Amino acid sequence: MRAVYFDCPSGASGDMILGALVDVGVSLEALRAELAKLGLAGWRLSAREVRRGAFRATKVDVEVDSGAHHEHRHLGDIVRILDASGLAPAVVEGATRVFRRLAEAEARVHGTSVEAVHFHEVGAVDAIVDVTGAVAALRLLGVDAVHVSALPIGGGFVDSAHGRMPIPGPGTAELLRNFPVVDTGVQAELVTPTGAAILTTLAAGAGRMPAMTVERVGYGAGTRDFPDRPNVLRVFVGEVAGDAATETVAQVETTIDDMSPQLYEPLMERLFEAGALDVFLTPVIMKRSRPGTVLTALCAPERVGDLSRVLFEESSTIGLRWTEVSRARLEREMVTIQTAYGALPFKVSRLGGRVVTVTPEFADVVRLAREKSLAVREVLDQARADARRHFGG
């Protein structure tokens, strides 16, 4: 399986992603030809070789006429542009997923609906070119899976359409939920909303680089120069064995035999808040035939300290253990589908771009069943049937 790994020691933005993909071998002319299918006027794509610290890198610029740059759009406007384009269905679908995730993040942050979100900066022509260009470039490379390193969050403040915001901005912070991040101490915006949306939406795996046979390496340059580090995004292209994305996670465990069962629920909630990817309990028989419980939590390796602190604060354990393990996971996303009883969120997983499972969020099924005074089983069965029709199954 052909895969790419984005190594982001100094952050990520749309132009850095495009620069790395052009540097690793995507033809600029081929990329321009793909983007021309959008039917958008008033922009130009250029690339040049630059130096960032000791590194040679490619700087890609999207130059936009002033009249087009400040146009604000809703998600529906951008989806219509993509649907009306001559781009391949896979590119349209990928770019739509990125913008939909952006809209969902903005809606949560500002307490509004996805349809009502004004994209402001990310609705401008340059962001449409960045997002669509990244998806199109990955297709030109023949990529099956995208893997991403932990992202540096940066610090300080930035001016936006919503006023002065702490870094990372609220939209970027929302996009980075459940994604590994690191604080490098740099007081600057290292990850832009567009960069965060592209990488976290397309990522099949996050954290450490998967075991792969590296064929090519490319470098995309950021705009700024940092005094103590090269402002580059590095991309590795190669082959990964197997059809499912692999990643390294930490497995944190502790064995408990003296805690009230009532305390496990708040403990598990805090573990998820601290970055746990999964938490589960296993009954065991301990020494002196005492019944006990093994609590297991999976997390990104850099979150072991956060989970350990929660376990010591919220449980009766006085010790724990952890190890790093490999896991394979399908590419997945959350998609809202209109069912016969109302809109429901579904978890959609893909294998090599093909939809293999579509599962409704059960808590939302229960909520909708109560609102409609229906049996939960009836709403669940209808939701599954509507999802199959939605995806042509």
Quick: pLDDT tens for 93-106.
999 999 998 888 88
How far apart CA 77 and CA 219 sit, in angstroms, is 33
Residue 31: pLDDT band with limits 50, 70, 90: very high
At 69 the pLDDT is 47
At 391 the pLDDT is 81
Q: How many residues does the chain have?
A: 393
Mean pLDDT of 259-272: 95
* Tokens encoding 188: 């600057």
Kindly list the structural domains of the chain, giving each domain's residue range(s) and its CATH number in brackets, ordered by start: 2-243 (no CATH), 246-329 (3.30.70.1380), 331-390 (no CATH)
Q: Tell me the percentage of the chain whose pLDDT exceeds 90.
A: 58
Q: State yes or no: pLDDT of 68 exceeds 60.
A: no
* Tokens encoding 180: 């590994």
Residue 66: pLDDT band with limits 50, 70, 90: low
Mean pLDDT of 55-70: 80
Residue 292 φ then ψ, to 5°: -145, -175
Residue 64: pLDDT band with limits 50, 70, 90: confident
CB atoms within 10 A of CB 109: 17
Q: State yes or no: pLDDT of 371 exceeds 80.
A: yes
How far apart CA 57 and CA 110 sit, in angstroms, is 37
Q: State yes or no: pLDDT of 15 exceeds 70.
A: yes
* Among the listed residues 145, 291, 122, 149, the one whose alpha carbon sits nearest the alpha carbon of residue 206: 149
DSSP states of 247-288: EEEEEEEEEESSS-GGGHHHHHHHHHHTT-SEEEEEEEE-GG
Residue 121 φ then ψ, to 5°: -60, -45
CB atoms within 10 A of CB 287: 7
Secondary structure E strands in 161-244: 163-166, 181-182, 203-206, 213-221, 232-239
Q: What is the pLDDT of residues 194-238, one digit of tens each?
A: 999 999 999 877 888 888 899 999 999 998 888 888 999 999 999
Mean pLDDT of 40-49: 92
At 169 the pLDDT is 82
Lowest-pLDDT choice from 27-31, 263-267, 324-328, 337-341: 324-328
Q: Compute CA 51 distance to the chain's CA centroid, rounded to the nearest angstrom.
A: 29
Q: State yes or no: pLDDT of 124 exceeds 80.
A: no
Asked if residue 125 lies in contact with residue 40, where contact means CB atoms within 8 angstroms, the answer is yes
How far apart CA 139 and CA 171 sit, in angstroms, is 27
How far apart CA 45 and CA 64 sit, in angstroms, is 9
Q: Tell me the percentage of the chain whose pLDDT exceeds 70.
A: 94
CA angle 324, 326, 327 (to 5 degrees): 130
At 267 the pLDDT is 97
Q: State yes or no: pLDDT of 120 exceeds 60.
A: no
* Among the listed residues 197, 97, 208, 86, the one whose alpha carbon sits nearest the alpha carbon of residue 148: 208
DSSP states of 78-136: HHHHHHHS-S-HHHHHHHHHHHHHHHHHHHHHHTS-TTT---GGGGSHHHHHHHHHHHH
Q: Compute CA 316 distance to the chain's CA centroid, rounded to the nearest angstrom.
A: 35
Asked if residue 222 lies in contact with residue 11, where contact means CB atoms within 8 angstroms, the answer is yes
Residue 122: pLDDT band with limits 50, 70, 90: very low
How far apart CA 5 and CA 165 sit, in angstroms, is 30
Q: What is the pLDDT of residues 306-364, one digit of tens each?
A: 999 999 999 999 999 999 888 888 877 788 888 999 889 999 888 766 788 999 999 99
* Tokens encoding 30: 């081929």
pTM for this structure? 0.63
Mean pLDDT of 85-98: 92
At 368 the pLDDT is 93
Of residues 304 and 67, the one with the higher pLDDT is 304
Asked if residue 43 lies in contact with residue 125, where contact means CB atoms within 8 angstroms, the answer is yes
* Among the listed residues 269, 251, 259, the one whose alpha carbon sits nearest the alpha carbon of residue 317: 259
Give the side-chain half-sphere CA count within 13 A for 354.
6
Q: What is the pLDDT of residues 136-191, one digit of tens each?
A: 999 999 998 899 999 998 888 877 666 787 888 888 999 998 888 998 888 888 99
Q: State yes or no: pLDDT of 387 exceeds 50.
A: yes
Of residues 118 and 134, the one with the higher pLDDT is 134
* Among the listed residues 184, 181, 208, 209, the one whose alpha carbon sits nearest the alpha carbon of residue 195: 181
At 370 the pLDDT is 94
| Packing angle of the helix pair 362-372, 376-390 (nearest 10 deg) | 120
